[in-house]
Amino acid sequence: MTTTESKTRRTLRDLLDPAFMARLDGLDILSHRALRGKLRGERRSKRRGEGTEFADHRRYVVGDDLRFVDWNIYGRLDQLFIKLFLEEQDLTVHLLVDASASIAEPDRDKDRYVRRLAAALGYIGLVGNNRVTISLFGDGIVAEVSNLRGRGHVARLAEVLLDTEAGGASDFDKACRQAAATRVGTSVIIVLSDFLFKEGYETGLRRLIGEHYEVYAVQTLSPTELEPELAGDLKLVDVEDADASEITVSAALLKYYKQTLAAYCNGLKDFCVRRGATYALANTGTPVEQMVLNTLRRIRLVR
């Protein structure tokens, strides 16, 4: 295994640095559905043995299984609490990575960031013995490796991330349709994109969101998108569909742009929250490590 590991680490090192990867070893992808406290036996477990990690307490209500009462607390507080366990479920971690022109142009910041983020999440998933599928989409899904399990497949993960060229128009709806069709069991779907789709993100996301599926939307924006530094009379050319917009930059226009951007991001956030998905905003200016270890932990994507 060492040789395979060293071989994979060498390739993945192109995306992530070893110190970071060492820290990622201790993490795992979470699924919030686990907090509903279903019976242990009702699902297939990854480990042979029982999932015993204690996660949380809940007040006892009539009808709960008495086996899960935490007697220590009862002894101390004279109140009944049920212990909740994190089930290590047989999760499919599906990474939907935007590989269209809007990510790659005009500079490759976003593209690199997104790939690194995908690499980190994919690595965490593989290390946590989950089933990892990674799909890169542009006009529909353009590259996919599915059902990778275990460290041995890190190389393949790295391969697909490094070798796929970004570019081309984007059709989010088509990609989501394709992704939804290949779903197996409980899935955590993480969409890494800038979500700046002319046709809108609603239809696509609606396809992904369902009872058994957890959707995480990580909107990645570059600093030049968040705080543009343009000046003068410009003709803005969209890299995906070559649509031109003529503007004369002024303070007022920038103000309106930022307002529009904020409204758009908030709109996406509201959409996600209302449908039970989780939203996070990634700024490519902040390092990937910080994103993964702080922000994604905070939204409980990883632990």
CB atoms within 10 A of CB 140: 18
Query: Does position 171 bind other proteins by CB under 8 A?
Result: no
Give least dist CB 281 to other proteins, A. Answer: 14
| Contact pick of 37, 82, 110, 217 for other proteins (by CB under 8 A) | 110
Site string for other proteins, 116-145 (x = CB under 8 A): ------------------------------
- The DSSP annotation for 31-79 comes to -GGGGG---GGGS-BSSSS---EEEEEEE--TTS-GGGB-HHHHHHHS-
Query: Does position 225 bind other proteins by CB under 8 A?
Result: yes
Give least dist CB 291 to other proteins, A. Answer: 19
| Contact pick of 4, 52, 203, 259 for other proteins (by CB under 8 A) | 259
| Part of the chain binding other proteins (CB under 8 A), chosen from 72-80, 119-127, 229-237, 287-295 | 229-237
Rg (CA), the chain: 21
Query: Does position 198 bind other proteins by CB under 8 A?
Result: yes
| Contact pick of 26, 106, 150, 267 for other proteins (by CB under 8 A) | 106
Terminal CA-to-CA distance of the chain, rounded, Å? 26
Q: Would you give the DSSP letter of residue 185?
A: S
Q: Would you give the DSSP letter of residue 139?
A: B
Q: Would you give the DSSP letter of residue 63?
A: T
Query: Does position 253 bind other proteins by CB under 8 A?
Result: yes
CA distance 266 to 109: 23
Q: Which residues 6+ apart lie within 8 Å of 40 measured at CB?
A: 50, 51, 85, 87
Give 100 or 278: the residue with its C-beta nearer to other proteins: 100
Collapsing DSSP to helix, strand or coil, 116 comes out as: helix
Give 262 or 273: the residue with its C-beta nearer to other proteins: 262
Give the residue among 178, 161, 175 at the shortest CA–CA distance from 126. Answer: 161
| Contact pick of 99, 103, 132, 154 for other proteins (by CB under 8 A) | 103
HSE-up of 171 (CA within 13 Å, CB side)?
A: 9
| Part of the chain binding other proteins (CB under 8 A), chosen from 47-55, 176-184, 195-203, 277-285 | 195-203
CA distance 166 to 284: 17
How big is the site for other proteins, counted in residues (CB under 8 A)?
41
Q: Side chain identity at 235, as an amino acid letter?
A: K
Query: Does position 226 bind other proteins by CB under 8 A?
Result: no
Give 101 or 127: the residue with its C-beta nearer to other proteins: 101
| Phi, psi angle pair for 248, to nearest 5° | -120, 115
Give 81 or 279: the residue with its C-beta nearer to other proteins: 279
Q: Which residues 6+ apart lie within 8 Å of 161 measured at CB?
A: 15, 97, 115, 118, 119, 122, 134, 136
| Part of the chain binding other proteins (CB under 8 A), chosen from 47-55, 184-192, 241-249, 290-298 | 241-249
Contact set with other proteins (CB under 8 A): 101-103, 105-106, 110, 194, 196-198, 222, 225, 230-240, 243-254, 256-257, 259-261, 264
